[in-house]
Amino acid sequence: MSEELFTNLAIFVLSLLVGFEVMSKIPATLQTPMMSGANAIHGVVVVGAFVIAAEANSWVFYCLAFFGAFFAAVNVAGGYTVTDRMLGMFDRKPAAKKEDDQK
Amino acid sequence: MSALQTISSLIYLVSAVCYVLGVHMMRSPKTARHGNGLSAVGMFLAVITIIVTIIIEGKIDAIGWIVLLLGLALGILYGVVKARKVPMTDVPQLVSLFNAVGGGAAAVIGIFDYLLKGDGASLSIAFSLPVLLDVIIGGITFSGSLIATGKLSGHVSGKPITVPGARILNIIVVIAILASAWFMIGYPTNIWYVILALAMSLVFGLLMTLPIGGADMPVVVSLLNAFTGLAVAFAGFVINNQVLIIAGALVGAAGTILTLQMADAMNRSVANILAGGFGTGDSDT
C-alpha cells in the first residue's frame, strides 16, 4: 500500500466518522433542506471536472470532460440556489411575525 | 510537495472545514441558512483554487478550456434557472435531478481516468478498485435518481412497477456487474469493460427504484444522495484529490443518518422500503 493511498484512506474513514457525528436528530421540517444542502456539497465533484478537463487530449476525453463539467455545474449551482430558496422560506415567517408584533 | 500544492491543499482543508460547519449549522432552523451560505463559501474557495491551479500548471489546452467553460456555463445557467423557477411543491424532484447529475459527473471522472491512465496497460488494484466503485455507484445513482425524479413529478407512474421475473433479472445484472469488476481489476484496460460496468449499474439503478412506490421516494432520494457522496469520495481517490474525499465521505455518512431519520419519521424502515424494491410482495403505498 502506497503512502498516498493510506493517507487518502485515513481521510476517507475519518470524514465518514465526522459525517456520522455531525448529524444528530434534526426537526422533520429541516430534513428536506438538509438533504438538498448535502446534495449541494457533493457538487464539489466540479473540482474533479476541472482536473479531467486539464488532462483531456482527444475527442473522447473532450466529450467526457464536457459532460463532467456540465453535470457537476448543474449539481453545484442548482443545489446551493434551491437550498437557499428553501431556507429563505424559514427566514421570512418569524421575521414577518416580529413586524406584526411591533405594530 | 511544491508550493502550489501546499497552498492549494491548505485552502481545500479550509473549504472542507466550511462543509462540516455548514452541515452542523443546518441542523437548527435559526442558523440553517447561514450554514448553507458557509458551505457555499467553502465551495467557492475550492473552485477558485482549482482554477488558479490549472492556470499555473498550464497543462490544459485550448479545446480543454472551451469544453470546460462551455460545460460549466451551460450547467450553471440550467441549474440556477431551474432552481429559481421551480414551484416550491416541485423541489424534491429537482433535488433528485441535481443528485442524478452529481452521480453522473462522478461516474464520468472514473471512466475518464480509467481510459486515460490505463491506455491498454495493466492497472494496480489501488487504482482500479476506486474507479470501479466510482463508476458503479455513480451509475446506480444516475439512473435511480432520474427514475425518482420521474416518479415524483408524475412522468413515471408513482405506483410500484414490477417487471415479470424481476428477481432473476436482478441476479443476472448483479452477476454482470461482478463480471465487469473482475475484468476491470484483473485485466489490462479495455473500453468495453468500463462500458459494461456503467451499463449494468444504470440498469441496476432502474430495477432498484422502479418497484418502489411514490410515497417512499423522498427516503429513496436521500439514500441515493448518500450514494452520490460515496461516488464522489471514490472519484477523489481516482484523481487523488482530498477535498473530494472529505466532502464525499461527509455527505455519504450524514446522508445515511438523514435517510434513517426520514424513514423513521414515516414509520418505515429503509430495509422495508428497499425490499419493496426487489418485489418481495411489499404493499403499494
B60 lies within 8 A of chain A by CB: yes
* The predicted structure's pLDDT at residue A54: 93
B41 lies within 8 A of chain A by CB: no
* The predicted structure's pLDDT at residue A94: 54
* The predicted structure's pLDDT at residue A89: 85
> Taking residues B68-75, what's their average pLDDT?
96
pLDDT at A90 over 80: no
Give the closest-approach CA distance of A103 to chain B in angstroms: 23
Q: How far, in Å, CA of B229 to CA of A49, rounded? A: 16
Q: Who wins on pLDDT, B276 or B3?
A: B3
Is there a contact between B79 and A81 if contact means CB atoms under 8 Å apart?
Answer: yes
The residue of B57, B250, B260 whose CB has the most chain A CBs within 10 angstroms, and thus the best one to mutate to test that interface, is: B250
Half-sphere exposure of B216 (CA within 13 A, CB side): 29
Q: Are A66 and B71 in contact (CB under 8 A)?
A: yes
* The predicted structure's pLDDT at residue B280: 40
- Written as nine digits, the cell of B62 is 485550448
Residue whose grid cell is 416518479: B151
Find, in chain A, the residue whose alpha carbon is nearest to that of B83. Answer: A82
The residue of A11, A15, A20 whose CB has the most chain B CBs within 10 angstroms, and thus the best one to mutate to test that interface, is: A15
Is there a contact between A49 and B109 if contact means CB atoms under 8 Å apart?
Answer: yes
* The predicted structure's pLDDT at residue A27: 86
Indicate whether A81 belongs to any domain.
Answer: yes
B141 lies within 8 A of chain A by CB: no
Indicate whether A12 belongs to any domain.
Answer: no
Helix (H) / strand (E) element for A56: namely none
Q: In total, how many domains does chain A have?
A: 1
Of A37, A52, A87, the CB nearest to B109: A52
Task: Give the lowest-confidence range in A90-94, B18-22, B105-109, B175-179.
Answer: A90-94
Indicate whether A88 belongs to any domain.
Answer: yes
* The predicted structure's pLDDT at residue A93: 58
Give the closest-approach CA distance of B164 to chain A in angstroms: 33
Q: What letter would DSSP give residue A58?
A: S
Kindly list the residues from chain B whose CB atom is less than 8 angstroms away from the CB atom of residue A80.
Answer: 36, 39-40, 43
B62 lies within 8 A of chain A by CB: no
Q: How far, in Å, CA of B122 to CA of B181, rounded? A: 14
pLDDT at B162 over 50: yes
Length of chain B: 285
Q: Each residue of A14-70: pLDDT tens digit?
A: 999 999 998 878 888 899 999 999 999 999 999 999 999 999 989 999 999 999 999
Q: Each residue of B124-158: pLDDT tens digit?
A: 888 889 999 999 999 999 999 999 999 999 888 88
The residue of B112, B131, B266 whose CB has the most chain A CBs within 10 angstroms, and thus the best one to mutate to test that interface, is: B112
B161 — pLDDT class (breaks 50, 70, 90): confident
Give the closest-approach CA distance of B139 to chain A in angstroms: 13
Indicate whether A2 belongs to any domain.
Answer: no
Q: Is A16 exposed, middle or buried (0-12, 13-18, 19+ CB in 10 A)?
A: buried
* The predicted structure's pLDDT at residue B157: 83
Q: What is the CA radius of gyration of chain A?
A: 20
Find, in chain A, the residue whose alpha carbon is nearest to that of B69. Answer: A69
pLDDT at B113 over 90: yes
Percent pLDDT > 70 in chain A is 86
Q: What letter would DSSP give residue A76?
A: I
B68 lies within 8 A of chain A by CB: yes
- The residues in A 10-29 lying below 8 A from B, measured between CB atoms, are 11-13, 15-20, 22-29
Q: Who wins on pLDDT, B279 or B244?
A: B244
Of B33, B39, B239, the CB nearest to A51: B239
B282 — pLDDT class (breaks 50, 70, 90): very low
Give the closest-approach CA distance of B168 to chain A in angstroms: 33
Written as one letter, the residue type at B250 is L
The residue of A3, A39, A60, A64 whose CB has the most chain B CBs within 10 angstroms, and thus the best one to mutate to test that interface, is: A39
B118 lies within 8 A of chain A by CB: no
Is there a contact between A39 and B40 if contact means CB atoms under 8 Å apart?
Answer: no
Is there a contact between B75 and A71 if contact means CB atoms under 8 Å apart?
Answer: yes
Average pLDDT of chain B, as a whole number: 90
Indicate whether A82 belongs to any domain.
Answer: yes
